[in-house]
Amino acid sequence: MLKVEHIDVFYGDLQILWDVSFEVQAGEIVVLLGANGAGKSTTLKTISSLLKPANGKVVFQGTRLDEIPSHKIIDYGLAHVPEGRRLFPEMTVEENLIVGSLSAEAKLKRNDTMAWIYDLFPRLRERRKQAAGTLSGGEQQMLAVGRGLMSLPKLLMFDEPSLGLAPIMVTEVFRIVQMVNKEGVTVLLVEQNVKHTLSMCDRAYVLENGRITLSGTGQEFLNNDHIKEAYLGI
C-alpha cells in the first residue's frame, strides 16, 4: 500500500533522514520505533507531503505523494493524526469532525461517517456541541482520531497518540488503534510505549539517528536483545 523509497530529508541545511526505506501492506499495523529526535515525526510529515524529500520518493497505491501538495493528500486516502492532536479548540466536537470531511467523497458520506464515528466513540456524541478545548486529554485524542476517520482514509498515521495521557487512557488509546484497524483501516504508528505497540503490531522498523537500522515482526522485536535493552529496559 505504502512504499517509502530511499528518502533523504532536510530542515534547511540540517539533514534529518538518510536513505530511509520501508513499506506498509494493506490491513497491517506497522510501527516506527526510535528515540526522541530519531526522525519519526519527520518521516510522517514527509509521507503527508508537509516536507519534501531531497532524494527518494513516497508511493501510495501507485501514486507519488512527494509530487502532490500536502492539502491534496487526503483525497488519495491517507490521513495523519499529528502529535499533540492539533484540534481547533474553540470549535465544537462536531465542527472539528466536519473539518475532517472536506474531500469530495467524504462530503457526500459525511452524515453516515459521523454516525459511525459516534458509534465508535459514544463520548463524542455526548459532547458533540462542546468546545474541543474543554475536553479531557483522552476525549481530545478520540476527537483527533475521529476527525482523521471522517476523511474515509485507507491508511491512518498516528504520531504519539498516548503522549501526555493518564495510564488508564493510554490503554484506551491502544484499544482505539486496534479498533480502527479492525474496521479495515491500515495503520502506521509512531509511539513511545514500545511494549504495548509491539504486542499488537504486525511489523516494526527502528529509526536511529535518521536511518532505518532494524526491521521485523512485533514478536521478533519483543525477543530481540537490542530492543529489550534500548527500548524496554530489560
pLDDT for res 164: 75
pLDDT for res 120: 85
pLDDT for res 84: 67
Q: What is the C-alpha to C-alpha distance for residues 211 and 151, in angstroms, rounded to an integer? A: 31
pLDDT for res 28: 96
Instruction: Return the H-helix or E-strand segment holding 41.
Output: helix 40-47
Q: What is the C-alpha to C-alpha distance for residues 80 and 76, in angstroms, rounded to an integer? A: 12
Residue 198 near residue 218 (C-beta atoms within 8 A): yes
pLDDT for res 85: 74
Pick from 188, 121, 117: nearest CA to 158: 188
pLDDT for res 234: 58
**What is the value of pTM for the model shown?**
0.89
C-alpha 38: how far from chain center? 16
Pick from 52, 110, 44: nearest CA to 78: 44
Pick from 137, 143, 125, 145: nearest CA to 185: 145
**Sequence spans of domains, the chain:** 2-77+153-231
Sheet containing 186-190, strands listed edge to edge, beginning at the edge strand earlier in sequence: 78-81, 155-159, 186-190, 29-33, 203-208, 211-217
2-77+153-231 carries CATH number 3.40.50.300: yes
pLDDT for res 191: 86
Q: Which residue has the cell 487512557?
A: 169
pLDDT for res 64: 96
Quick one: 62 exposed, middle or buried, by C-beta within 10 A (0-12, 13-18, 19+)? exposed
Mean pLDDT by 10 residues, the chain (234 residues): 97 96 97 91 96 97 94 91 83 94 89 92 93 89 89 92 78 85 93 87 95 94 88 70
pLDDT for res 231: 81
pLDDT for res 137: 82
pLDDT for res 109: 93
Maximum CA extent, the chain: 50
